[in-house]
Amino acid sequence: MIGRLNHVAIVVPDLAAAAGTYRNTLGATVSEAVDLPDHGVTTVFVELPNTKIELLHPLGSDSPIAKFLEKNAAGGMHHVCYEVEDIIAARDKLVAEGARILGDGEPKTGAHGKPVLFLHPKDFCGTLVELEEV
Protein backbone atom coordinates (compact mmCIF):
# COMPACT_ATOMS: atom_id res chain seq x y z
CA MET A 1 0.00 0.00 0.00
CA ILE A 2 2.67 2.58 0.91
CA GLY A 3 4.93 3.93 -1.76
CA ARG A 4 8.12 5.87 -1.49
CA LEU A 5 9.22 7.98 1.46
CA ASN A 6 8.06 11.51 0.65
CA HIS A 7 9.75 13.32 3.54
CA VAL A 8 10.97 13.26 7.12
CA ALA A 9 9.68 16.17 9.22
CA ILE A 10 11.83 17.87 11.85
CA VAL A 11 10.46 20.44 14.30
CA VAL A 12 12.87 23.34 14.78
CA PRO A 13 12.89 26.23 17.27
CA ASP A 14 14.33 28.70 14.70
CA LEU A 15 13.18 28.10 11.13
CA ALA A 16 15.54 30.62 9.50
CA ALA A 17 18.56 29.22 11.33
CA ALA A 18 17.65 25.63 10.47
CA ALA A 19 17.07 26.51 6.80
CA GLY A 20 20.43 28.29 6.81
CA THR A 21 22.17 25.23 8.22
CA TYR A 22 20.81 23.02 5.45
CA ARG A 23 21.46 25.65 2.75
CA ASN A 24 24.86 27.00 3.81
CA THR A 25 26.49 24.24 5.84
CA LEU A 26 25.15 21.20 4.00
CA GLY A 27 24.76 22.81 0.55
CA ALA A 28 21.14 21.75 0.06
CA THR A 29 18.44 23.42 -2.00
CA VAL A 30 15.97 24.93 0.47
CA SER A 31 12.51 26.32 -0.31
CA GLU A 32 11.03 29.53 0.95
CA ALA A 33 8.98 29.33 4.16
CA VAL A 34 5.25 28.70 3.68
CA ASP A 35 2.58 29.20 6.34
CA LEU A 36 -0.01 26.43 6.59
CA PRO A 37 -2.72 27.87 8.87
CA ASP A 38 -4.92 24.74 8.61
CA HIS A 39 -2.08 22.74 10.18
CA GLY A 40 -0.73 25.45 12.51
CA VAL A 41 2.78 25.28 11.08
CA THR A 42 5.25 27.10 8.89
CA THR A 43 7.23 24.76 6.64
CA VAL A 44 10.44 24.80 4.66
CA PHE A 45 11.41 21.90 2.40
CA VAL A 46 14.97 20.74 1.90
CA GLU A 47 15.29 18.97 -1.46
CA LEU A 48 17.43 15.83 -1.56
CA PRO A 49 18.07 13.51 -4.49
CA ASN A 50 15.90 10.72 -3.04
CA THR A 51 13.45 12.49 -0.68
CA LYS A 52 12.84 15.72 1.24
CA ILE A 53 13.32 17.02 4.76
CA GLU A 54 10.46 19.16 6.03
CA LEU A 55 11.45 21.73 8.64
CA LEU A 56 8.45 22.62 10.83
CA HIS A 57 7.94 25.61 13.09
CA PRO A 58 4.81 26.52 15.09
CA LEU A 59 2.46 29.02 13.46
CA GLY A 60 0.66 30.69 16.35
CA SER A 61 0.46 29.82 20.02
CA ASP A 62 -2.12 27.03 19.52
CA SER A 63 0.02 25.15 16.99
CA PRO A 64 -0.07 21.38 17.49
CA ILE A 65 3.74 21.31 17.45
CA ALA A 66 4.18 24.03 20.09
CA LYS A 67 3.94 21.38 22.83
CA PHE A 68 6.53 19.29 20.99
CA LEU A 69 8.97 22.19 21.27
CA GLU A 70 8.11 22.69 24.94
CA LYS A 71 9.21 19.11 25.60
CA ASN A 72 12.08 19.17 23.07
CA ALA A 73 13.50 22.70 23.16
CA ALA A 74 16.19 21.90 20.57
CA GLY A 75 13.61 20.36 18.22
CA GLY A 76 13.69 16.87 16.77
CA MET A 77 12.16 14.40 14.37
CA HIS A 78 8.37 14.73 14.24
CA HIS A 79 7.01 12.36 11.58
CA VAL A 80 7.65 10.40 8.42
CA CYS A 81 5.49 10.80 5.32
CA TYR A 82 4.79 7.96 2.91
CA GLU A 83 3.10 8.27 -0.46
CA VAL A 84 -0.10 6.37 -1.29
CA GLU A 85 -1.95 6.21 -4.59
CA ASP A 86 -5.46 6.50 -3.10
CA ILE A 87 -5.70 8.07 0.35
CA ILE A 88 -9.35 7.07 0.91
CA ALA A 89 -8.67 3.43 0.03
CA ALA A 90 -5.57 3.49 2.28
CA ARG A 91 -7.56 5.04 5.14
CA ASP A 92 -10.40 2.54 4.83
CA LYS A 93 -7.99 -0.42 4.77
CA LEU A 94 -6.09 0.90 7.80
CA VAL A 95 -9.26 1.56 9.80
CA ALA A 96 -10.58 -1.92 8.93
CA GLU A 97 -7.33 -3.33 10.34
CA GLY A 98 -7.66 -1.35 13.58
CA ALA A 99 -5.38 1.63 12.92
CA ARG A 100 -6.39 5.02 14.29
CA ILE A 101 -6.55 8.09 12.08
CA LEU A 102 -5.88 11.37 13.88
CA GLY A 103 -8.35 14.26 13.70
CA ASP A 104 -11.75 13.68 12.16
CA GLY A 105 -10.48 10.96 9.82
CA GLU A 106 -10.94 13.04 6.70
CA PRO A 107 -7.98 14.10 4.56
CA LYS A 108 -6.76 17.70 4.74
CA THR A 109 -4.74 19.53 2.15
CA GLY A 110 -1.05 19.23 3.01
CA ALA A 111 2.03 21.29 2.25
CA HIS A 112 2.22 20.00 -1.33
CA GLY A 113 -1.44 20.80 -2.05
CA LYS A 114 -2.35 17.11 -1.89
CA PRO A 115 -4.61 15.19 0.54
CA VAL A 116 -2.91 13.99 3.73
CA LEU A 117 -3.83 11.99 6.84
CA PHE A 118 -1.92 11.31 10.05
CA LEU A 119 -1.85 7.92 11.76
CA HIS A 120 -1.61 7.42 15.52
CA PRO A 121 2.00 6.77 16.58
CA LYS A 122 0.96 4.02 19.01
CA ASP A 123 -0.21 1.98 16.02
CA PHE A 124 3.08 2.40 14.10
CA CYS A 125 5.99 1.53 16.39
CA GLY A 126 5.90 4.89 18.21
CA THR A 127 6.23 6.93 15.01
CA LEU A 128 3.76 9.54 13.79
CA VAL A 129 3.02 8.64 10.17
CA GLU A 130 1.66 10.96 7.52
CA LEU A 131 0.14 9.57 4.33
CA GLU A 132 0.09 11.77 1.23
CA GLU A 133 -1.83 10.96 -1.93
CA VAL A 134 0.27 11.23 -5.09
- Is 85 catalytic? The answer is no
Query: What length is written for the chain?
Result: 134
Residues linked to residue 109 through DSSP beta bridges, in sequence order: 115
Looking at the chain, the number of H-run helices and the number of E-run strands are: 3, 9
Residue 122: CA count within 13 A, CB half-sphere: 4
Identify the active-site residue in 32, 54, 130, 133: 130
How many beta carbons lie within 10 A of that of residue 75, not counting itself?
A: 19
How far apart (Å, rounded) are the C-alpha atoms in residues 120 and 103? Answer: 10
Please compute Rg for the chain using Cα positions.
Answer: 15
Contact (Cβ atoms closer than 8 angstroms) between residue 117 and residue 101 = yes
Catalytic machinery residues: 130
